[in-house]
Each structure stands twice: as C-alpha cells, then as structure tokens.
Amino acid sequence: MSSQSAGDTQRKTRIDAFGATSLVLFSALLGLNQVLVKVVNSGLQPVFQAGLRSLVALPIVVIVALVRKRKLSFVDGSLIGGLICGTLFAGEFILLFLALDFTTVARTSIFFYTMPFWVALAAHFLIPNERLTPVRVAGLVCAMAGVVLALSDKAAPASQYAFYGDLMCLAGAMMWAGIALSARITNLSKSTPEMQLVYQLCVSAPIVLIVAPLFGPFIRDLQPYHLAIFSFQVVVVVSFGFAFWFWLLARYPASDMASFGFLAPVFGVFFGWLILGETITLTLVAALVLVAIGILLVNRKPSSAP
C-alpha cells in the first residue's frame, strides 16, 4: 500500500462542484498542451523537445512527490512494469510530437484521445472483470466511426504528410492505452501514481534523447517565446498539472472522473481553431461528436441497485 500524507483530504463518493470545475480546467489544460507543443516544434525539433521535457520535468515531479510524502520505490517489485511503462511512454510521445509537425491540433486531439477505446478493447481480453458490455461496444462503434470520418476529411491538411501524422496519433493512443494497462496487469499497480509518472519520465528521457539525432538538428528557429512556452509545459502541465490530477484521483471516484474525458479533445479542437487559426470542417466536428459520445459510453458505469 502507498503511504498517504497527513494532509490528504477526505475521499468523496461523487463529483462535487469543485471537482467538476477542476476536471474541466484540467481537460482545458490538456487540450491547450497540444497547441503549445506544436508552437514549440517551430523552435525545437519535436523528438528533442519531448525528451528534454521529460528530463527537466523529472526532478520537479520527484520534489513534489517527496513534499507530499508519497512513496517512491524501485524495489517493490514494480521495476519490470515500470520499464515497460516508460518505454511505451517514450514511443507515445515520439509519435505524438512528430505527428504535430505533420497534422493539425484538431485532428491530433480526435485521434490521440481514442485511448479509452483501445484500453476497453484490450481489457476485454486481458482483465477478467472488464468485459465489453453492449453499451461499451456501442461506444467503440461510435469512436471507430468518428475515426473513419476524420480520416476521410481531406479539407485543409496541415501538410502533405497529414495522413501519416493522423496514423502516428492513433499509434500513440494505442501506446498510451498500453501504459494504462501495464499499470493494472503488472506489479506496477503496487506503485503510487506519482511513482508511475517517475518511471515514465526517467525511462523515457534517455530513450527519446538517444534517438532524437535521427530526426534532424535539435534547434530550428528558437526564440525566447519558445523557451517560455516550453517552461510552462514542464512546470504547469507535466509537473504540477499531473500532481493536481493525482490529488483529484485520490479524492474523487476514478470512474466518475473518466466521464470528463470527452472534454480534452473538444478543448484541443477549440484551441487549435482559436490560437492557430485551424480550419474546422463540419466533417471534423461530426467526427469529434462521435468520438466524444464514444468516450462517454465506454466510461459509463454499469447500472446497479441503490
């Protein structure tokens, strides 16, 4: 069992107003993050940016975890699961950061946030108590319809390689799902959420930085604002953002929190349009609606007696 700090708040049985507001804001932060990554890609090579972000965020995450008196251990039997998780994390972010070079934030948001569907599909075969129900199957069908619809939308591509960027996002979503599953079916489940994030950062950073030279010069047209945005990502999004997420996870039911998952791609599409001026077609909106409905259905709790 993980150690709990004396200051941990009482666990809630449902999402209250504070929890709902926090989850909406966190979803907005996730949606904004992909815009920030795309902007920084113009100053730093994408894979180098991903590796550097993990490297710089690691000590901050460790310090925050120690301040909160969370258990951090490599010798609790979780090492193999942690190495698997960290390797998948490296692959996920290599694909995601490269994809944002090729495709739009709006399309990235739709494809990348299909992660819950890959988790549900794999869990059906890997986890006995996670069988697909008719409602969850309907969610998978909606999601797949949304993906197919988004892939069919050829209007205003970000580049001539946009289709490959879309596929990278889907592959990254599958790796993200692998991380979620490895945290459940390996001894990584013995670790605190903070330790799982430490594994992801400390394993991925060297892997990503080692392969980064294969993708071109590290520095593109680096400007001071790129460094400012990069710092915001490291401190606010990766470090304190996810620390706040773990605090929410300890306070509110995970199944209720999951129902807010559809908001992240919605915010991603919105911020891509608002900040980058991306073209949002009716086809893309329809695809987003289908994926959002799919997320709600896949995360829907089975009905039970009061």
Residue 15, sorted as left (phi over 0), alpha (psi -120 to 50) or beta, turns out to be beta
Closest CA to 209 of 197, 201, 198: 201
The pLDDT of residue 193: 87
Per-residue confidence (pLDDT) for residue 157, from 0 to 100: 65
For residue 102, the model assigns a pLDDT of 93
Structural domain spans, the chain: 17-298
Listed residue (88, 100, 87, 2) closest to 47, CA to CA: 100
- Strand, helix or coil for residue 156: coil
Buried b (16+ CB within 10 A) or exposed e, 54-90: bbbbbebbbebbeebebebeeebebbebbebbbbbbb
The span from the CA of 234 to the CA of 236, in Å, is: 6
AA identity, residue 110: I
What are the phi and psi torsion angles at 261 (to 5°)?
-60, -25
In angstroms, the CA 105 to CA 114 distance is: 14
Instruction: State residue 83's pLDDT score.
Output: 96
- List C-alpha distances in Å: 306 to 187, 297, 303: 34, 21, 9
CA distance 193 to 184: 12
pLDDT at 302: 61
**What whole-number distance in Å separates Cα of residue 155 and Cα of residue 279?**
8
Chunked into runs of 10 residues, the chain (306 residues) has average pLDDT values of 45 85 93 95 97 95 90 91 95 96 93 91 85 89 92 76 92 93 88 91 96 96 96 91 81 79 91 93 93 88 53
> Can you give the C-alpha Rg of the chain in angstroms?
19
Q: Token pair of 68, please?
A: 């909160």
Please state, in angstroms and rounded to a whole number, the distance separating the CA atoms of residues 31 and 211. Answer: 27
The confidence score (pLDDT) of residue 7 equals 43
Comparing CA positions, the residue from 255, 100, 90 lying closest to residue 169 is 100
